[in-house]
Amino acid sequence: MLDTPAQDQDSYAEGKILKSVVDGVGIVTFNNPDKRNAMSIEMWEGLGTALIELREDDAVRVVILTGAGDKAFMSGADISQFEKNRHNAQAAEAYNRQSDSQRTLLAEFPKPTISCIRGFCLGGGLQVAMLTDIRFAAEGSQFGIPAAKLGIAYGFEGLRHLVSLVGPSQARLILYTGLRIDSAEALRIGLVDRVIADGKLWDETLEVARTISANAPLAVKAAKITIAQVLKDKDERDMEAIKAIGTACMDSEDFREGRQAFMEKRKPQFKGR
């Protein structure tokens, strides 16, 4: 699916997390196709490292998360590690502490994030997808949270994001039954933003990412910050953060470049400052 040469990729977790950069777009690949890209604790740690490096790379303006192969974005946690890492409440709490920091990194990532989903997107995989800003899915993809079939209590943060996307009734249906839904149903209830023909999924996802990358980074950042505050309870909103990023945009070189490019009828060259 990726058109990035292998030598341009960095790898983590013994090659099960891959990172590359193309045209200002960071790409993180879950590379465990033999297990439908199920996430081990080592992969969570590798994901965190990749995200930190992409966050600190000024050349990266947007990040895509995707799964290797054609079977899955991510099928959830690696169940083979449950006996060792999640066999009871105490062990599960320790496991969650290890993976929570990576989920927080993604949830608070300062640059736009897109999930490019093909195949299974289940459990923890769906939670990862819900933490990104935008979700594109191939026709035929399947979504679900099988926690009720495994005796697992799905955590607050995962449910908060699910309810914010699909509403409480659909969240109940997904959680109570543990059943899978297809991409058409996921689109209908708001779980994904676009459903794209399988053969066009990657190209269209990358084209949207490149479009975002070409826009003024401060303006995009302002949109991300403001939308995040809109979703918070009124008493928890950081209105000063919204004001600060708005002022930064209006005083930026990019704002002057945008005006000049418009007058000169040319494509602007934004620098993020």
DSSP string, 165-192: HH-HHHHHHHHHH---EEHHHHHHHTS-
Residue 106 lies in a domain: yes
Question: Does residue 272 lie in a domain region?
Answer: no
Residues 221 and 233 in one domain: yes
Q: Is residue 271 part of a domain?
A: no
Whether residue 194 lies inside any domain: the answer is yes
Q: What is the pLDDT of residue 4?
A: 45
Structural domains in the chain (count):
2
Q: How confident is the model at residue 35, as a pLDDT?
A: 93
At residue 256, the pLDDT reads 81
Helix (H, G, I), strand (E, B) or coil at 22: strand
- The parts of the chain modelled with pLDDT lower than 70 are 1-7, 78-96
**Has residue 270 been placed in a domain?**
no
Distances, alpha carbon 45 to alpha carbons 37, 40, 42, 129, 250, in Å: 15, 9, 5, 17, 38
Range of the domain at 61: 6-213
Residues 15 and 64 in one domain: yes
Predicted pLDDT at 219:
92
Q: Same structural domain for residues 61 and 164?
A: yes
CB 28 within 8 A of CB 19: yes
CA-CA distance, 210 to 170, in Å (whole number)?
33
pLDDT of residue 263: 85
Q: Could you give the CA distance from residue 205 to residue 181 in angstroms, rounded to a whole number?
A: 22
Per-residue confidence (pLDDT) for residue 96, from 0 to 100: 67
> Are 60 and 182 part of one and the same domain?
yes
pLDDT at 133: 97
* 112 lies in the same domain as 242: no
Inside any domain, residue 269: no
Query: What is the DSSP annotation of 29-72?
Result: EE--GGGTTPBPHHHHHHHHHHHHHHHH-TT--EEEEEESSSSE
Helix (H, G, I), strand (E, B) or coil at 26: strand
The tokens for 68 are 């290797």
Answer yes or no: is 137 within a domain. Answer: yes
Report yes or no on 174 lying in a domain: yes
Residue pair 75/220 in contact (Cβ under 8 Å)? The answer is no
Q: Are residues 200 and 99 in the same domain?
A: yes
| H or E, element range at 25 | strand 25-30
The answer on 257 and 144 residing in a single domain is no
